[in-house]
Structure 1
C-alpha cells in the first residue's frame, strides 16, 4: 500500500499513461503536492463554463455519464495505485462541483464563488451522511458518492441563498 498523500514518480507515470488515470486525476489537476481536492475543483470550473450553457436535462445527463465514467476511472486508477481513494483522484470533485453549481448555471458570478466554497466546505467537513458514506463505500463508487452528496448539499444551500438574495 502506498502513502495516501505522496505519489512516487512511477505512480504519476501510471496515472498519466492511461485514459482512466488521466481522467481520475482530473487531467493532472490532482497531482499537485497539496490541496489536491481544491485544485481539482478549480480545474472543474473550466469545463463547467461550457457545461453551464446546456439545458438542464442535457446537463443532468452529462452528470450521470460523468459519474458512471468516474466510477470506472477511479476504480481502475485506485487499483493501479493500490489505494481505494487516493487524494490525487479528483474526478469526484469535478462531478460534485458541477452538481453544486446547478443553481448557478444562469446566475450572477457571486453564486459561482459561493457554490465553489460551499462544495469545498461540505467535501472537507464531511457532515453526516457524507462521512458515513466515505467510510463504508470503497472503490470507484466510494470515491464518487461522497462528493456527489457534498455537491447536492452545496446545491441546496446555494439555491436557498440564491432565493434569499434574488432581490438584491
Structure 2
C-alpha cells in the first residue's frame, strides 16, 4: 500500500463494507480522543488541518487518471469532517479543564450529526459535493463537520441553558 492509499483509506479502513464512510467516521473518534488527551484542543486543531492537507494530496493521487473522483474507499475526508465536529467538545473540555470523556453526549451528537449531514448533504454540503476533484471530496465533509459542530454547540446550549442539565 503506497502512502497516498494508506492516508486516503486511513490505513485500510476505507475498504471495510458496508458503509465505508461510517467506518471512517468511527475510526476518527478514538484518534480524536487520543489527540485530545495528548495535547488538548490545540493538537486536535493542528491535526485536523494536517489531515485536510494530507487528504487533499492523497485524494488527488488516488484519483489521478480515474473516472471516479470520489471512490468510496477514500475516507480521510470523513476523518477531517468528524474531527471538526469533535471541536465542539474538544475546545470547551480543554478551555475549562473538563475530562473530554465526561462530555460523552457530545461525542454521540457529533457522530450522529456529522453522519446525518454527510449522507443527507443539505445546502452547502451538497454544493461542495458537486465540485469535482479532491476539493469536492474534502470540502463536503469539512462543511458537514462544521455544521455538525454548530449542531453540537446548539444542543449543548439548549441542554445546559434551557433545560439546566
Structure 1 partner of 2:97: none
Aligned pair partner of 1:119 in 96, 114, 118: 114
1:81, CA displacement in angstroms?
5.3
1:52, CA displacement in angstroms?
2.1
8 Å CA contact retained: 2:48, 2:83? yes
Structure 2 partner of 1:74: 59
Runs of 4+ in 1 over 6 A off after TM superposition: none
How many positions carry a matched residue from both structures? 151
Which is richer in helix? 2
1:129, CA displacement in angstroms?
1.1
Aligned pair partner of 1:149 in 143, 147, 162: 143
1:55, CA displacement in angstroms?
3.8
Whole-angstrom distance in 2 between the partners of 1:90 and 1:125: 17
Offset from partner CA, 1:36-89 (integer Å, 9 cap, x none): 110110111121111223343443222112101110001111227542101110
Gaps of 5+ in 2: 94-99
**TM-score, structure 1 normalization:** 0.84
- Over the aligned positions, Cα root-mean-square deviation in angstroms equals 1.5
Match runs of 1:23-102 below 5 Å:
23-53=7-37, 54-79=39-64, 82-102=67-87
Whole-angstrom distance in 1 between the partners of 2:28 and 2:66: 23
